[in-house]
Every structure is written in structure tokens, then in C-alpha cells.
Structure 1
Amino acid sequence: MEFAWPLMFLLLPLPWLVWKKVPAAPETKQTPIYLPNASQWQQTVEMVSTSNNQTTNTKLILIFLTLSWCLLVTALARPQWVGEPIALPTQGHDLLLAVDLSGSMDTEDMVYQRKRMNRLNTVKVVVREFLQERKGDRIGLVVFGDAAFIHTPITRDLDSVSKLLMEAQVEMAGPNTAIGDAIIKSTDVLRDQPEQARIMILLTDGQNTAGEIEPIPAAELAAKHGIKIYTIGIGADSMTQSGLLGFFNNTVNPSKDLDEESLKTIAEKTGGLYFRAKNPEQLQSIYTRINELEPIDQDDQFIHPRKEWFYWPLAFSLFLYLSAYLLKFFNLSNFVMRIKSSANLTTNKGGN
């Protein structure tokens, strides 16, 4: 067992310090007791007996309050049961996903399970399945539009990465596409990772239309830091647009703005690969291939399962405090004496 906040035990002498430092209430003078006759003597004996009972009761209350305070401080220190260490996987990837959230990602040219979906929702579904298989990996998320933002740092908590990706919306980072800024932002994150772990997956459906740096110089800077970039161009080659009243349908290329040449160059300069995803099935196969990357060795890490036990001392503390409160207003010794007196009175009546 361990205590999460052991410094709380410094509060143990607090009641004693208060008792020492806070001045006591002034004592009231008692009038002398006169014993002119036997009846008053009997009353005095009863008063002394009651005083002794009250002293016993006070001691018991003090013990209860002391134990209650000690248990309360113990609860504040948060006692925890610590289990045997569980080893975490020592092999895996460190990946950074850079996802385009520009306005064109709202184009509905993808069909997934017989349902037409826009590009971003298709990416969400495929990447979520991809993350569910990333045992032992550490993954981060960068989103970009007019600018690039770190949505989640590199972490083992892949559920949080998946949840935050699912909450991302088109144009959340602006309507344009800052591919160069996304590479620079990812480089800032990845350059502190182990050399073998500097892997970036860049997914976009367009060309660089915003940002402070062009994609190719950004890729050259990433290459100097040993970052390998896998680029994915998403979008169908053709899409049918309905004409007036269902007639005169028109077939267009929704991916005409996709800058494949730049994406290929980015991958080549950094030692990565370029992939083209025209439909959800191709996108899934791309992530399957990325999943086959050589895993890297990571430092041994362990977790210790913990279970909170603070509620046990807290419950006993409240019980003892309540008991002391009841004793203050309910003299146990007097109660016992009354029972004995009642029993004697009943016996005397029976004898008469």
C-alpha cells in the first residue's frame, strides 16, 4: 500500500497545536458546599459520582475524536493499493498524422458501405480503424487549413487521438490548405523523438494555398531532421453531378486541384512514399501497408495498477465523530445508573 499525498500527515498535530496556542475559556468560580445535615451530604456524594462519570465520558469522547482525526488525515493522504507492475509493449511506431481540414474535404465523392460520404468523414472512419490496430504505438495528430495546429501530442492514449479526430470539422482550421506549415509544425514535434521514430503521414486533397512556407522547402527542412514523410492524396477521379430536373448530368473531376507532383516530391526528399486514395478501399490498403513498417525498439515501460482505499478510513472517521457527538449529549454512565436504579426500585417493590 502507498499514499498518494503523504505530506497530509503533517496535519496530524494540528488539533494539539490549536489546543496549545488558543487560550482556554476562563474558569468560573464555584460556591463552597455546606454540609449542615445528612441529606445535603447525600446530594454531595451524588454530585461527586456524577462528576466522575462525566470525566469518564469526556475521556471517551476525546479518544473518539483523536482517532477520528487520525483516520481523516489518513483518508486525505489517499491510501492506494498498488498491484504488480505490468509491462507495456516495447516495440511500435511513433507516428504523426497530419490531416487536411480545408473546405474541399467536404466534397462527397466517396462511397463507403454503399453510403456517399465526404472526404473527411471517410478519413475519420478509416483512421479510426487504423488506430484500433496500433498496439504499442505512440501517435499524435496535426490538423491544418489556413494554418497548422497540434491537435494531440504524441501519446499512447490512442482512444483520445481517435476521439479528437472524430470531433474535427471541415474548415475548423480555415478553408484553405497550408501544406508547408503542416510539415513545419510536424517537424517541430518529431525532431525531439528518437531518430527511427520520426515518421509523418500527410493526408490532403488539394494543393498549397496558404501558409508562410512552401511545401518543398518545408520537406527539405524535415529531411535534415531525419523525418520520413508518407503523403496521401485523397479524392475520386470522377463524380457525376445532377443536372436540371435530373437531366443533363455532368461528370467532373473533383480532384483536379490535387497537386500530386508536390506530394511525390515531398515523399522522395524525405525517404517516404506517395499514395493515391481514390476511394475508401484504397485508403484502407494504404494504412495497411503503412502498418507493415519496421517497428522500433522503445525503452522498457511499466504501469502499476492502483485502487483507491481512502473511503475506508473516511467512513470509520465519520463513524467515530458521530459516536463522540452522541456521547456529548448522551451520558452513557448516567444511563447505566438509571437502569440499575430502575431495576433496584422494581426489586424493592416486589419485596414489599
Structure 2
Amino acid sequence: MSFHHPEFLWLLALPLGWGFWQWVRRGHAVALPFDHGAQGEGRVPRFMIHLAGTLPAVILAVAVLMLAGPRRPAPPSDERVLNNILICIDVSGSMGVPFGSGGTRFEAAVEAARSFCEFRKGDAFGLTVFGSEYIHWVPPTAELSAVSNAMNYVRPDNMPGWMGGTLIGNALRGCRDQLVRIGEGDRAVVLISDGQSGDFSNGGDRAVAEELAKDDIRVFGILIGDGTGAAGLDTVSATTGGRTFVAGDPGALDEIFREIDRMQKANFKPSTAEWVDYHEPFAIAGVSALLLYSITLLGLRYTPW
């Protein structure tokens, strides 16, 4: 235990002096009107009266201690290590192909990603869209509504014509540039696409994988459809400690995101202990001393006649 304002503790000299004076001062003796009586010395009553007279000093001492601001360390707790996860979604024209009943590949991917973000509250999510180029739509943020609302406006049919290709390696390098600026927490990319990358040939996949692994960025790939292009993306995810999944139907997307959640676990570390106010025992002691002193005033005192 410690105090917020230890400079006030010197005031404890006042109740200590008061209490000492109560026991040593003279002038308490009272001569009772008995002739030829063998009266006792009254040591026990005298002790009790002195003790009662010391209670105001005790009350003052408690007031000084509370003025000094008693505090103690809060119980230890674990602090969550932030996961910075970039959702990287393909917005090329093929993502507008119907997928399942009543929706497109893009819509199914967005809905599953939105549910994943809501389930992982406490992490920071960002949104990047890519085709032939990439656009960092939302930087990693713990404000999930920013990512969720952005997904309502990012659609393949809203993209310019020069976004029509599929360059996964280029997009992953862009995600790496975004994530390395973040100095705190783990970093991961969840990339969703439906096509084969045009920049993974001639060792391009291996080069991208090594760059990401060097910066401790895990990649989880989700290929929608028949899994075309899985080889290159699988090289990247395996090298970085992630995994590539193939989703043949909308229902598989939810299961894939649950598996990613199990692999990208939330980590915790002991947090630094904080100091909290600790007035309760002093308040109880002060109130108890005050009540006891009030009771002693009913009769436990020297009778001044």
C-alpha cells in the first residue's frame, strides 16, 4: 500500500501528540466525599477513561490518512495483444459471378468477412480491395463499423476498368506496406479471390512469401470456386504460417473463417499493475471510532464536580 499524497503524513504527529498528552497530563484526580473509607486506586476505570479520551486522536489520525490518499495495486489482469488483420478482397469482374442462391461471389465473401470481424471484436481490421491494382480502403482500426460500412460501397461493378485483372502478389505487397507501419500486435492478411494470379509465375509467389514471412505477417488465402490458382497462394500461406482454403459454396466460407479464427488466436499478456484508491478500511475504522467515542460520552469520563 502507498499514498497519493505522502506529504500530508507528517500531520500524524498531531494525533500522536494529542494521544500521548491524554495519558500523561495531570489534573484528572477527583476526591470523593467519603470519610475514613478504604477506597481503591481505580486503576481499571482510569485506564478505560484514558482509552476513551484517546479516541478523538484516533479519529483525527484516520482523517489524516484518508487525506493522504491511501492506494494499493489493483489485482493483476491480462491484456489482449492486438491482432491487426487486413481483409483483402478481389474486386475483379469475375467476383460478380452468381454464387449459391441469390448472390454473387463477392457478396458471399463480404458477408462472411463481416461476420468474422464482428466475432473478433478486440482486434483491428482494415479493408483492401484489389484487381490489377490495390486500394487501401480502410486502414486497420478497432472501429469495426468503419470496415463493415465500407463493404457496402466496395463492389466489382463500381470499380474502374483498370481494376479488372487479378494480381495477388501485388496486392499482398501492398498489404505488407500497410501492416509494417503498425508497431504493435500481431499482423495477418485474409485474402479472398476467385482466380489465378498473373504475377505468381517464375518464382513470384516465393518472393512475395519470403517478404511477408520476414515481417511476421501471416497470410490466409480463400479461393472461391474451383480453386484455380491455389498453388501460388498456397506457397505464400504455407511459408508465412497461414493456410489456403477453397470454398465451393457460400456455407463453406463461414466454416473457413471459423478455422482462421482458431489459427489466428487472440493472445494475452500480463498488464502493468495499476494503483486504485483504498479508503474502505480507513473509513470503517474512522466510523467505528466515532461511534465508540459517542457511546463513551454517555458515562465513561471524569465527573467534574
Aligned position for 2:186:
197
1:96–1:285: structure 2 CA closer, same or farther, 3 Å change rule?
Answer: same
Q: CA deviation at 1:288?
A: 1.1
1:177 equivalenced with 2:147 (yes/no): no
TM-score, normalising length: structure 2: 0.57
3-state SS of the aligned residue for 1:209? Answer: coil
Report the residue type matching 1:176 in the other structure. G
Contact 2:210–2:239 (CA<8 Å) still a contact in 1? yes
Give deviations 1:275-330, integer Å, cap 9, x for gaps. 11111111101111122222134897xxxxxxxxxxxxxxxxxxxxxxxxxxxxxx
Aligned position for 1:116:
102
1:297–1:177: structure 2 CA closer, same or farther, 3 Å change rule?
Answer: same
Residues of 1 paired with 2:126 and 2:269: CA distance?
17
Aligned position for 2:208:
218
Q: CA deviation at 1:92?
A: 4.5
TM-score, normalising length: structure 1: 0.50
1:290 maps to which of 260, 264, 267: 260
Give deviations 1:153-191, integer Å, cap 9, x for gaps. 000111110111121111516111111111101001112
Aligned position for 2:250:
280
Report the residue type matching 1:281 in the other structure. G
Contact 2:124–2:141 (CA<8 Å) still a contact in 1? yes
Q: How does 1:120-159 map to 2 (within 5 A)?
A: 120-159=106-145
Aligned position for 1:35:
none
Which ranges in structure 1 are unaligned for 5 or more consecutive residues?
1-86, 238-254, 301-352
Identity of aligned residues (%): 30
Aligned position for 2:221:
231
Contact 1:208–1:215 (CA<8 Å) still a contact in 2? no
1:219–1:297: structure 2 CA closer, same or farther, 3 Å change rule?
Answer: same
3-state SS of the aligned residue for 1:219? Answer: helix
Structure 1 stretches of 4+ moved >2 Å = 89-93, 192-196, 213-216, 296-300
Q: CA deviation at 1:219?
A: 2.0
Residues of 2 paired with 1:264 and 1:285: CA distance?
18
Contact 1:180–1:216 (CA<8 Å) still a contact in 2? no
1:209 equivalenced with 2:198 (yes/no): yes
Residues of 1 paired with 2:211 and 2:187: CA distance?
13
Contact 1:197–1:296 (CA<8 Å) still a contact in 2? no
What is the RMSD of the two structures over their aligned residues, measured on CA atoms?
Answer: 2.7
3-state SS of the aligned residue for 2:132? Answer: coil
3-state SS of the aligned residue for 1:167? Answer: coil
Q: CA deviation at 1:117?
A: 1.4
Residues of 2 paired with 1:281 and 1:298: CA distance?
35
1:167 equivalenced with 2:138 (yes/no): no
Contact 1:92–1:298 (CA<8 Å) still a contact in 2? no
Contact 1:208–1:214 (CA<8 Å) still a contact in 2? no
Contact 2:81–2:185 (CA<8 Å) still a contact in 1? no
Contact 2:82–2:184 (CA<8 Å) still a contact in 1? no
Aligned position for 2:83:
93
Residues of 1 paired with 2:186 and 2:82: CA distance?
9
Which ranges in structure 2 are unaligned for 5 or more consecutive residues?
1-76, 272-305
Report the residue type matching 2:173 in the other structure. I
3-state SS of the aligned residue for 1:117? Answer: coil
Residues of 1 paired with 2:268 and 2:183: CA distance?
10
1:271 equivalenced with 2:241 (yes/no): yes
Report the residue type matching 1:133 in the other structure. F
Residues of 2 paired with 1:267 and 1:210: CA distance?
16
Residues of 2 paired with 1:132 and 1:229: CA distance?
20
Q: How many residues align?
A: 190
